[in-house]
Structure 1
């Protein structure tokens, strides 16, 4: 009787979270029913085999407020291994009307017969529908699609529109790019690198005769022209040169807060002039927010020598679509030994941090970078992060485009990864930028 009650209750539960449930006849040997994912009441042909184990009121093994264990029979485990459908175990307790579930994929050996259930994470409710749907997709091949079954959301495109100055200066020069850099490096005061040499001409958005760049050009051969003449040129090599000019100009605009690494081709937050660790405060979508953009990690927890320093960074790419230039921001991390010297082997640290990042983490980073580049930061205890005012900058960065997605990005599909990311955000404030 309790078995029949459990299967009926499971059917109602699956229907409540957006799945069809078809029970099997009494000849079943370890599969009680088939659950089919529904997308807005439309069947998807995405099937899950379900085994229901029901009890009236008994406590599970080792049960406490947070977890318990359940041991499956060896014969059942052997039977489930031969299934061509993903198999889940659903535990139902009538006394408190609770449902917990666990995927039975990849269980190997006697030791894995004992399943550990987390009462919060393994609860069978509407929050589990995307994780259940993810089980139905073949994991082999070059990639696979995890279908989101929840509602829609706004997606931020990591392409920031650039408002260019109306005019640009084109000057004749006799110097090669290498010779010009060598000459500028010898300049004592007012060094500027926000220029690009194209064959015998130098391009820059500022008047070269009013800065140290005047030593690089023929002073009687300076011409002011419309920016669109170069920005909208159809030749690919001209577009590449113009993109290089944009990168140099951006580096100049933010030279007091961002460094540039030639090897990684990344902008990264510089350490504070007095000290190393740095915090950036900005206005997020709804409230004031802050991020530890330069973080110091020591060999021991609170004292001792520095182990490494982590900097928030991004890889820039300048793209022209139609008649609009965009800055494509790809958030990442940059590692140094002491805030200035690049760490010799940062790959393990980088891959470890990237594994913890989820959709929300990257979204917050894109917002953070937009706030910095567009000047939407604010003072904290009287100290301004960027000393130059927005009016002094050459490039003006606009709002990133926003798209309305019909389906949300199902972070919970990645299961353990999402949980690790959440735990990291709680233990380490850098994981969550808000």
Structure 2
């Protein structure tokens, strides 16, 4: 889906100074993988063609962490004894060549030290760049450096303006500004609705470890399929070898999966750790959980996701050509058409394509809270199920042209009513909840009819396939 992004690829270059040092580097790699970063080191592999492997890993990585020690610097500078530390010397040759060709524009190699004293052993070509001192389990500075996030954000410059006096009587009933019918601005209070739907989610995200081997991973997938039921579908995503889910592993479904010994339960993370995270990796993982939860909510309402049209929509049921569903409007309950077949103009007995109610979405965070932003959309399919019609783009654009504020509001209220509806399937504490759209009252209003003066003649035309009476059912039932 739109919000999904691949994890950053990171390679760690270091020397095996001691068993303790190697263990410390291994822990660093494991911790970064827990944070959603695709890290690789030599300790994850065996029996490789090591020179070729190192060269391939340096090409593969978007970032390279150089763990600086006295031994590493000695091998970087070629001052090591004969036939000692050849791996580090080979990596340093490749890195120096890449830095040379970058002509001083280093965006890839990050010097890292386990202590302040090791800063003295940073190789000369890396000394001008930001270094990271690794202190215990605090990885925030390192993750920000990997994600190219500065330690502080530069605020916009506030311009110095002379005081501006508001015209006398601007907000009075006798104001000439408000009396301008061309603008449509009035003193009549107006209810405002947002297409932002607040989200609620459980306090914890549960994690589990998956086996690395591909055969064992297929056993996990088989276990999931074997225990699926119509009453419960798990919401989870996998990042590397870690599974994340809002669902508790005490649920009967997950107990059956655990009994198959295909995953190992791990830590339960506070949801706020990911929801309130500042790094792109943390937010990316959280958005993936939200997307999986939305996918399951839509599935419970018989909706489907179209990758080609990038929207959720209602596919046509078997042996039907039109369907309505009940939903709340602004004040009253009503019915809205969610799909219908459109006959061919040349042969009315044949179906030209299908028209579906649909929406596109994004997840946004404002003031520490998360919202689902929905954009109403018209989907057109050739089979009623999911194959986009060849007229999809044109038909969708034509449908949206004549829609005014009230029609768009009707769409938004409809989707908010559907998505925020509690069902037995989601009557469980471990699921994400979508609440109704945000609304408020403005002391000023706008006469929608006044905006008709700014509409072009082409936009005034209503497509022949648009049923205006049905289209405004929700927005007018107040």
Q: TM-score range by the shorter chain?
A: 0.5 to 0.7
From 219, 227, 230, the equivalent of 2:271 is: 227
Give, in angstroms, the shift of residue 330 of structure 1: 0.9
Cα distance in 2 for residues equivalent to 1:397 and 1:422: 34
Give, in angstroms, the shift of residue 194 of structure 1: 2.4
1:252 aligns with 2:299: no
**Alignment partner, residue 339 of structure 1:** 384
Give, in angstroms, the shift of residue 430 of structure 1: 2.9
From 150, 154, 165, the equivalent of 2:191 is: 154
- SS of the residue 1:339 aligns to: coil
Give, in angstroms, the shift of residue 217 of structure 1: 8.5
8 Å Cα contact 2:205/2:244 also seen in 1 = yes
1:189-232 CA-partner distances (Å, limit 9, x unpaired): 62857222233321111145834865998533333333222222
8 Å Cα contact 1:425/1:431 also seen in 2 = no
Cα distance in 1 for residues equivalent to 2:333 and 2:286: 35
1:164 aligns with 2:201: yes
1:65-115 CA-partner distances (Å, limit 9, x unpaired): xxxxxxxxxxxxxxxxxxxxxxxxxxxxxxxxxxxxxxxxxxxxxxxxxxx
**Alignment partner, residue 359 of structure 1:** 405
8 Å Cα contact 2:219/2:262 also seen in 1 = no
8 Å Cα contact 2:186/2:444 also seen in 1 = yes
- SS of the residue 1:394 aligns to: coil
1:299 aligns with 2:344: yes
Give, in angstroms, the shift of residue 406 of structure 1: 3.5
Give, in angstroms, the shift of residue 188 of structure 1: 5.5
Cα distance in 2 for residues equivalent to 1:348 and 1:318: 27
**Alignment partner, residue 398 of structure 1:** 435
Q: TM-score, normalised by structure 1?
A: 0.58
Question: Cα 1:424–1:307, aligned 2, differ >3 Å: closer, same or farther?
Answer: closer
- SS of the residue 1:238 aligns to: helix
Question: Cα 1:250–1:426, aligned 2, differ >3 Å: closer, same or farther?
Answer: closer
**Alignment partner, residue 194 of structure 1:** 235
Give, in angstroms, the shift of residue 267 of structure 1: 1.1
8 Å Cα contact 1:361/1:432 also seen in 2 = no
From 41, 51, 65, the equivalent of 2:174 is: 41
Give, in angstroms, the shift of residue 414 of structure 1: 2.2
8 Å Cα contact 1:202/1:217 also seen in 2 = no
1:110-150 CA-partner distances (Å, limit 9, x unpaired): xxxxxxxxxxxxxxxx9xx63xx2xxxxxxxxxxxx56346
1:241 aligns with 2:285: yes
8 Å Cα contact 1:359/1:409 also seen in 2 = no
Question: Cα 1:262–1:165, aligned 2, differ >3 Å: closer, same or farther?
Answer: same
Cα distance in 2 for residues equivalent to 1:258 and 1:429: 21
CA RMSD of aligned residues (A): 3.8
Query: Which structure carries more relative contact order (alpha carbon 8 Å, separation 6+)?
Result: 2
Unmatched segments (≥5 aa) in structure 1: 1-36, 47-125, 134-145, 377-385
Q: What is the total number of aligned residue pairs between the two structures?
A: 291
- SS of the residue 2:417 aligns to: helix
Cα distance in 2 for residues equivalent to 1:237 and 1:396: 23
